Structure 1
């Protein structure tokens, strides 16, 4: 392990105010070094995973660090079950649990456990009719619920610079708008480096990759990238401009947008129940509700801030 990260951080715990200094000290660190630093100095650390190659490599590295220390798997795993994963992904989740002797903390969309329940409550093919709401329900809300339930202060991600778009300038450690610390241990690796590690270490991976897929999400939106297309270009078949599912977007903006839509729907339903032909005045005051919601957001997730 290079001496710089240890020398500069070993005497004190993680301090968000020193983020630039810490990232500078990790500039030449290997993924294993970044993970070791995170395990030792960042509190409330979990790994969120959809069992992509990069996340699997990180899980294997954590396992090796843990075994070397003769400890159980050092970082608990959170799996967001969207209910629309490929069967191969769900089978991989079970294999990872068994191989690394860990228990997945699984979270699903609010109030439902099956596809049938989801579509009855939220509508069929919601990813086509309202993609932002779909992302909020299957990824963003379950993630925040997981963080609140489990006391998560930091997460290990599978993001890499080579994936492009918003990820092109990733640092090993970042802090988002909610105060959540995001550790990106393989941010400097390319796809081939990750795949080489997977093969070398004998890490189980999704068999769909052998069929030409490179980034696997929900079955209804994932296609094989064409020759010359980027690694994540097949992730959202119907939306070529999309680069993130919502987990790494502005959480507060997504929550406000979702709640505004809910209020609009409630207003429309109230108008219809009164027999109004057109949407007019309503007992639902949308502006006041939205303002109150905005004020509540900071308090709702204040416990996510480091040191809370």
Structure 2
């Protein structure tokens, strides 16, 4: 995969710290306004979760040109998520750029290429195939310089110390997290107060919705993302992890799998 184009602005660590200190005092709407005027090639990257829906609505309320949206369709989303993507686009009128796993258009295609239940057999290969690689393809094809994400510190795990702005090491991609300081309660209050479209699964006990096979409702008193990858210590799907480490792990595991197949074939 070719490297990403350099962002419009390059920040050193001191500048980035100063920017984050200032942005941390701003409202999410002000952060979004700053992002609009600061970056060309600005996109919103969302799976239409509660936080992403808030950001979409805030952008629309600013009555500026719609920020285009990148949606990574893993081919394993709930039907409710796909329905929300259609409803959100119809309401807000943004350009929707959907990217799927390479050379796959359906779950059947994916199973034929990777085998059944890859997520259970090798979650690293699965995460790279359904999210990391399609996202990198999107950034390259669309000349993405900066992305808006819905991540928040209150989601804990790897996100507990999330800054408002971060620069991805090795690629220069700028990630902007306007709701970094918000709680789920603030997100939910905004959704209801502004009648923002949201995933119907939220009314069934879900708070964070990912792929159907690794998402469950959240019990009373559990953390917001407790329903993701339940029973494991996993807190991220790979999209916001070190890209080069993810790619190296993917390549190594695929080689090991191919070597295993070759050995089995020769033994037979």
- TM-score range with shorter-chain normalisation? over 0.9
1:43 to 26, 40, 43: 40
Whole-Å Cα distance in 2 between the matches of residues 238 and 128 of structure 1? 13
Other-structure match for 2:210: 217
RMSD (CA atoms): 1.4
Q: Does 1:137 align with 2:129?
A: yes
2:87 to 89, 92, 95: 95
SS at match of 2:71: strand
Other-structure match for 2:102: 110
- Say which structure, 1 or 2, has more relative contact order (CA 8 Å, 6+ apart): 2
1:205 to 189, 194, 198: 198
Q: Does 1:124 align with 2:116?
A: yes
The 5 Å alignment of 1:138-157 reads: 138-157=130-149
User: Given that residues 139 and 246 in structure 1 are in contact (C-alpha distance below 8 angstroms), is that contact kept between their aligned partners in structure 2?
Assistant: yes
Other-structure match for 2:5: none
Whole-Å Cα distance in 1 between the matches of residues 56 and 228 of structure 2? 22
Q: What displacement does 1:16 show?
A: 1.3
Q: Does 1:29 align with 2:29?
A: no
SS at match of 2:212: coil
Name the TM-score, length of structure 1 as normaliser: 0.81
Other-structure match for 2:251: 259
SS at match of 1:23: helix
SS at match of 2:83: helix
Q: What displacement does 1:232 show?
A: 0.3
Which stretches in structure 2 are left out of the alignment for 5+ residues? Answer: 1-7
SS at match of 1:220: helix
Which stretches in structure 1 are left out of the alignment for 5+ residues? Answer: 1-12, 278-308
Q: What displacement does 1:199 show?
A: 1.0
SS at match of 2:110: helix
SS at match of 1:16: coil
SS at match of 1:105: strand
1:187 to 180, 192, 200: 180
1:76 to 63, 68, 78: 68
Other-structure match for 2:11: 16
User: Given that residues 221 and 238 in structure 1 are in contact (C-alpha distance below 8 angstroms), is that contact kept between their aligned partners in structure 2?
Assistant: no
CA offset digits 1:106-145 (Å, max 9, x no partner): 0001111000010011011111111111111111110011
Whole-Å Cα distance in 2 between the matches of residues 57 and 256 of structure 1? 35
Other-structure match for 1:242: 234
Whole-Å Cα distance in 2 between the matches of residues 188 and 217 of structure 1? 22
Structure with larger Rg: 1
Aligned residues: 258
